Structure 1
Amino acid sequence: MKTITVFTPAYNRAQTLPRTYESLVKQKCKDFKWLIVDDGSSDNTREIVQEWQKKDNGFEIQYIYKENGGMHTAHNVAYENINTELNVCIDSDDALADDAIEKILEKWNQVKGKGYAGLIGLDADFSGNIIGKGFSKDMTETTLVGYYANGGSGDKKLVYRTDIIKKYPSYPVFEGEKYVALGYKYRLIDQEYKLAVLDEILCNVEYQPDGSSNSMLRQYIKNPKGFAFWRKICMQFPESEQRVFQDCIHYVSSSLLSRNWHFIKESPRKGKTVLAIPAGILLTLYIKSKVKG
């Protein structure tokens, strides 16, 4: 039994997935499995992976194909199939940093008996520049939301205990939609557990032009129920009280886009939601104008 599963959701990324593969081959420590969840690709992802499976890579490659449902559904399938102690997601256009597996396991062996949900490490671009802010020298543990509430920024690499990630509900699926924030599970975990800080670059990332982070306004239009769900979670477990009103505004907007006229009744923060209606209407008009443009 390996200690950690590296899982990769993939959707039509045959052109970038080899970079991910090569970064795994380069790992000196091979105490991991690689799970690829193909989210309905129409390119030659399957054939590429099958060729890799024939090679002696020093690690097992597991491939699962599913109908296209969005990143969060690929995570659901991954968690259903992971049986190692730890897991970490490396996207299909990213690369595991040199010796990342060794660094993760070395740190985990130091802290595994202290009740942490896992580790939080750094993402960097392919030039080695840290995405957003790093960690302060005195930060040894944090929740994810606590990191951002205290001035942190940028994507971070999260390594979770598998038993804990499976303890919480799966990402919900809304008919006709393909986006729910991955932060949903992480926010729930934050309520009970902390993460040990690993001040090392674990992943090199590249944001694709057709990736979700580069088309967020269009995502608001296509997935309003998923976004409204996420905003309710943010209101229920806020990053800060200052952020709640902003979440209310987005909740109003997403509710209007989904034509949910019961959004006030369903809100965890009814009073602030009512106050946010004018700004929510303006945000809705802004989103529609930009997407049409």
Structure 2
Amino acid sequence: MMEYTFTVFTPTFNRAASIHRVYESLQSQTFRDFEGLIVDDGSEDDTADLVRRWIKEADFPITYMKQNHAGKHVAWNHALQKARGGWFVIADSDDAFVPNALERLLEVYKSIPEKDAAKYRGVTCRCITDEGVVVGSTEIPTPWLDASEADAKYIHKLQYEMWGMTRTEVLKRYLNPNVAGMRFYPESIIWDKMGEKYLTRYINDSLRILYSDQSNATTVKNVNNRYKENYYLWRHILNDLKKYAFNEPLMFVKAAIGILRDGLLSERRYGQILRDVKFLSCRALVIFGSPIAWVLAKKAKPSNS
């Protein structure tokens, strides 16, 4: 048995100017059985002082952990080790969520028949901007859509920013790999892998508020240099999502070019890159796109290297 219904996990890096949104969102929640868990990825600003003050004044428990600057994926793993809530919610340090967010997510999950509940990893909702614009144009069938993560994106076309809650016990089985030299691991790989075994209930409610005054990268200063990180995403698309090639052909072309471009930029050999692609058809696509990938890699390579 877990101590709380929810663990609300916030990874942060130099976000003292915006992390108050998460704290204020938690303070205003209509459902009160939760803990706040902040993992600081080596901030050099006033984040620690802010959180220490909140720990003293909050009417809910807050745990604060600080790690060396290693990336959100490492912070995520640390948080799962410490989580005491049955449900895990990731609240990024530059966003907010509406007062009934936790209550509504739990209400939706309880609408799933008890005999089927174990088949679901959780509930996912939509987002709204700080200007009140709902993110994404594709409506989810009323009152919900039950689907795997990949089916939702590539068959039902829900390819936009979402948010929600996941069973903590399930997430603990899908920890992020800790690869030397990487500051980021594509989250979509984890969600897609989870979707191979578990369904998600998708709803139209917009419960998370996205702000446009902060970068989306929690721990990576230059998103254009994610060669190592992106390589894993392209490999995942080509190796694990092949059945969606006819639904998203351009995505596979992009992945075939991207895996070679980013593989070369992360100092992998051409033969090694091809061996990392499991299927002959996808390997052929990589070879076909090689001239474009070589040109893009040459353009992106720093001039002093």
Q: Deviation at 1:292?
A: 6.7
Rounded Cα–Cα distance in structure 2 between residues aligned with 1:36 and 1:180 = 19
Rounded Cα–Cα distance in structure 2 between residues aligned with 1:292 and 1:125 = 36
1:124-154 C-alpha deviation (Å, 9 max, x unpaired): 1112211113423264312222122122231
Unaligned runs of 5+ in 2: none
Pick one of 10, 17, 22 that aligns with 1:15.
Answer: 17
The alpha-carbon distance between structure 1 residues 136 and 280, as it changes in their structure 2 partners (threshold 3 A), is: farther
Partner of 2:146: 141
Rounded Cα–Cα distance in structure 2 between residues aligned with 1:8 and 1:284 = 39
Corresponding position: 1:127 with 2:131:
yes
How many residue pairs end up in the alignment? 288
Rounded Cα–Cα distance in structure 2 between residues aligned with 1:111 and 1:191 = 19
Alignment of 1:41-60 (within 5 A): 41-55=43-57, 57-60=58-61
Alignment check: 8 A CA contact 2:6 2:35 kept: yes
- After the TM superposition, which of the residue ranges 251-260 and 266-275 deviates more from structure 2? 266-275
Alignment check: 8 A CA contact 1:8 1:89 kept: yes
Matched residue type, 1:119: V
Alignment check: 8 A CA contact 1:126 1:205 kept: yes
Alignment of 1:176-215 (within 5 A): 176-212=181-217
Aligned-pair Cα RMSD in Å: 2.4
TM-score (norm 1): 0.89
The alpha-carbon distance between structure 1 residues 276 and 200, as it changes in their structure 2 partners (threshold 3 A), is: same
SS at match of 1:187: helix
SS at match of 1:129: coil
Rounded Cα–Cα distance in structure 2 between residues aligned with 1:219 and 1:91 = 17
Rounded Cα–Cα distance in structure 1 between residues aligned with 2:202 and 2:216 = 28
Rounded Cα–Cα distance in structure 1 between residues aligned with 2:140 and 2:184 = 29
Alignment of 1:223-234 (within 5 A): 223-234=226-237
Alignment check: 8 A CA contact 1:131 1:155 kept: yes
Corresponding position: 1:161 with 2:167:
yes
Pick one of 157, 171, 180 that aligns with 1:175.
Answer: 180
Rounded Cα–Cα distance in structure 1 between residues aligned with 2:164 and 2:259 = 26
SS at match of 1:212: coil
Q: Deviation at 1:291?
A: 8.4
Partner of 1:247: 255
Matched residue type, 2:162: K
- After the TM superposition, which of the residue ranges 31-40 and 281-290 deviates more from structure 2? 281-290
SS at match of 1:148: helix
- After the TM superposition, which of the residue ranges 193-202 and 281-290 deviates more from structure 2? 281-290
TM-score (norm 2): 0.86
